[in-house]
Structure 1
Amino acid sequence: MSLSALGNNTSAVEVTNISAHGVWLLAHDREFFMPYDDFPWFKEKPVSAIVNVEEQSPGHFYWPELDVDLTQNIIEHPGRFPNVACNP
């Protein structure tokens, strides 16, 4: 009997931790921290909604239950992208 892979791993992105300070996102072997001060959309939301993340294209992440759409650039440099239209 031989074992073979059934397909490609489609889970290139996942939330690895939710703390009192923010959310940890793992994407393509890189971990990113999103503090609530910079990413208020995740604070006080259900865990099930936070962990439901999709990578729509490389480096482009979407949380459908929260209607949050972020790029890797925004996550890495939140100060460059102020939350002017934010209404958490």
Structure 2
Amino acid sequence: MSLSALGSNTSDVEVTNISAHGVWLLAHDREWIMSYSDFPWFKEQPVRAILNVEEVAPGHFHWPDLDVDLTEEIIEHPERYPNVAGNT
């Protein structure tokens, strides 16, 4: 009997932590914290919805259950996008 090798991880993005302060996102060996003050759409959402993230294009992340789209640029510099990251 032979065992086949486990497949490689096909997801390049994952939520690694959800806390009272925000959501941690890991992609391509980089990790960001998205605080609820800058990214209010994640606050008080079901864990299932927050964990369901996909990278639809390089550096472009989508949460289909929340209808949220963010880029690395927005995550790294939310202060540059006050009309996006500041609205609830």
TM-score (norm 1): 0.88
* Superposition RMSD in Å: 1.9
TM-score (norm 2): 0.88
Alignment partner, residue 47 of structure 1: 47
Long gaps (5+) in structure 1:
none
> How far did residue 31 of structure 1 move?
0.3
> How far did residue 84 of structure 1 move?
5.2
Q: Count residues with an aligned counterpart.
A: 87
- 1:3-82 alignment, distance < 5 Å: 3-4=4-5, 6=7, 8-82=8-82
More helix by share: 2
Long gaps (5+) in structure 2:
none
* One-letter identity of the residue aligned with 1:20: A
CA 1:48–1:3: 2 relative to 1, 3 Å? same
Give every structure 1 segment of 4 or more consecutive aligned residues whose post-TM-superposition deviation is greater than 2 Å.
1-6, 83-88
- Percent of matched pairs sharing the same residue: 71
Helix, strand or coil for the counterpart of 1:73? Answer: helix
CA distance in 1, matches of 2:24, 2:50: 10
CA distance in 2, matches of 1:19, 1:68: 19
* One-letter identity of the residue aligned with 2:65: E
CA distance in 1, matches of 2:43, 2:79: 18
Helix, strand or coil for the counterpart of 1:83? Answer: helix
> How far did residue 12 of structure 1 move?
0.2
CA 1:86–1:64: 2 relative to 1, 3 Å? farther
Helix, strand or coil for the counterpart of 2:10? Answer: coil
Helix, strand or coil for the counterpart of 2:83? Answer: coil
